[in-house]
Structure formats: structure tokens, C-alpha cells
């Protein structure tokens, strides 16, 4: 007798340099593709995953989630064996049994991203942050980041070709910090548009370099025109840090890596 399907969230972390993004794509190696293959080999059954937060090519994640419906009941030791089937740049960290109505994408309350830059050449940050050796006005950078909290329509920071129903995002936190030679932008919102964080970072850095005035920055956002924003920030500096869910959807935690 086949056991009834149960739903699990799979928590993963990855270095995105070698991948075309998190979600399945035709003729491309993605995070989802490799995790699905590992699950199929280990549990000897086909599976389909649903991603919480789509990350683009080259973007890293400290925490992302997929959900999976299965008759199998994962145990902590399965994580070790699954990780042995995955490249070193991808790690499954935990399974969570969740309510059957929970959805990795639609049940999320918010996502948190960070973007890292560094001014002095550092071989240990190569591939993990953006080398940006320019003089920056940190006060202007902070003012631009704080002003974004008052905005709702982020059309100007959505890359052309995005297929979304609307461009409204609720940003809950937006700030820059400096530590040990690394300048970091941290932003929390209920949702993000394609290219949004890189667009905000690049355009704010223009303000900090004073190649864009603060007033022009406001105009760019009000214009709702992505052709006026800048998207030059490379993917290597962008990290999905955390996905936040209501605590009551988690029924059981499996694993402690």
C-alpha cells in the first residue's frame, strides 16, 4: 500500500557561480535540476520541486527553499547521503515537514538579500563580492537607501522582459553597513522583481559616486522606467540571505547541519 504524500520544505545553500540560476531551465544546469536528480537517485523515484525564491545566474544563497511532495519520510542521515551526490557548491541543510497547504513561494512572508562590495583589491573576495574601487559618499548612500522605504512601485528596478502582474513591493528594511573593508547592502521585502536588488545597488552607488544626484535618483524611481536605472552590478556580490515563513507551518524539523 502506497503511503499518502506528505509535503516537505528542503532548505538549501549554494554558491551560484557555476549555475544558470535556481529554477529549472531548458538546456541549462540549475540548482533545482541537480537537487531533483539527487533526490531521484537516492530515493529511486521521480520528483518535482517548487522553488521559494528565483535567483538568477551567478547569484548565491545562504538560505533558499524548495517544496516537495513525497511518500518518503526523510531522516537526518539522508542529508549526508544527498549532499554526497551534490557538487561542493550546493548543500541541503534541513528538511521540514509542513502542512500540506504550505507553499515554498506563496507562503513566504518576506525575503532578505545582501549585496557586498569592496574597494581594495582582495583575492579572497574575488567571486564573492563586487570590486568597486571608487570614492563613495556614504551619507548619500544611506539617504538613498532610507528613502526607498517610503516607495511602493519599483517598476524602474525590474529588468525588461519580466512577466509579473504588478510592480508593488513592500520594503521593510533598507540599509548599508561597513565592516572589515566590505560595504554591504541589506534589504528585506515581501517580494522582489527580476534584477531589482542589482538595479537598486548600481543606481545607489551612482548617487554615492555623485554621478547621479539624489534628486535624479528620486526622478528615476518616480519614472517607473527601467531604462533610466542601472543594472551593472555583477551577480557575484548578491546573496539571498533568508526566506521568512509563519512559524506555524513547520510541523517537524529534520537534520541539524
Residues labelled as active-site residues: 56
Strands 238-244 and 110-118: antiparallel
Q: What is the dihedral of CA 98, 100, 105, 108, to 10 degrees?
A: -50
Q: Show the CA angle centred on residue 108, arms to residues 106 and 110, nearest 5°.
A: 130
Q: For residue 254, what is the enclosing H or E element?
A: strand 250-254
Q: Which residues of 180-208 are buried (b: 16+ CB within 10 A; e: fewer)?
A: eebbbbbbbbebbbbbbbbbbbbbbbbbb
**Treating both helix axes as pointing N-terminal to C-terminal, what angle do 196-208 and 138-147 enclose, rounded to 10 degrees?**
140
Contact 212, 143 (CB under 8 A): no
Amino acid at each position: 500500500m502506497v503511503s499518502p504524500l506528505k509535503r516537505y520544505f528542503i532548505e538549501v545553500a549554494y554558491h551560484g557561480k557555476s549555475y544558470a540560476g535556481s529554477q529549472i531551465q531548458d538546456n541549462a544546469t540549475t540548482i533545482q535540476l541537480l537537487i531533483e536528480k539527487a533526490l531521484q537517485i537516492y530515493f529511486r523515484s521521480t520528483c518535482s520541486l517548487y522553488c521559494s525564491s528565483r535567483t538568477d545566474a551567478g547569484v548565491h544563497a545562504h538560505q533558499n527553499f524548495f517544496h516537495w511532495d513525497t511518500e518518503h519520510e526523510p531522516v537526518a542521515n539522508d542529508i549526508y547521503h544527498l549532499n554526497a551526490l551534490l557538487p561542493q557548491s550546493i548543500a541541503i541543510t534541513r528538511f521540514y515537514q509542513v502542512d500540506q497547504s504550505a507553499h515554498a513561494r506563496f507562503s513566504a512572508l518576506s525575503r532578505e538579500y545582501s549585496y557586498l562590495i569592496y574597494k581594495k583589491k582582495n583575492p579572497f573576495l574575488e567571486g564573492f563580492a563586487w570590486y568597486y574601487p571608487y570614492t563613495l559618499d556614504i551619507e548619500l548612500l544611506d539617504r538613498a537607501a532610507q528613502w526607498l522605504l517610503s516607495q511602493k512601485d519599483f517598476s524602474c528596478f525590474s529588468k525588461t522582459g519580466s512577466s509579473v502582474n504588478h510592480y508593488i513591493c513592500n520594503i521593510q528594511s533598507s540599509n548599508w553597513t561597513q565592516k572589515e573593508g566590505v560595504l554591504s547592502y541589506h534589504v528585506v521585502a515581501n517580494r522582489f522583481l527580476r534584477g531589482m536588488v542589482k538595479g537598486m545597488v548600481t543606481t545607489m552607488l551612482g548617487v554615492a559616486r555623485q554621478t547621479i544626484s539624489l534628486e535624479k535618483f528620486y526622478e528615476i524611481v518616480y519614472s517607473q522606467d527601467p531604462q533610466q536605472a542601472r543594472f551593472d552590478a555583477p551577480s557575484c556580490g548578491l546573496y539571498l540571505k533568508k526566506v521568512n515563513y509563519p512559524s506555524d507551518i513547520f510541523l517537524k524539523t529534520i537534520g541539524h547541519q
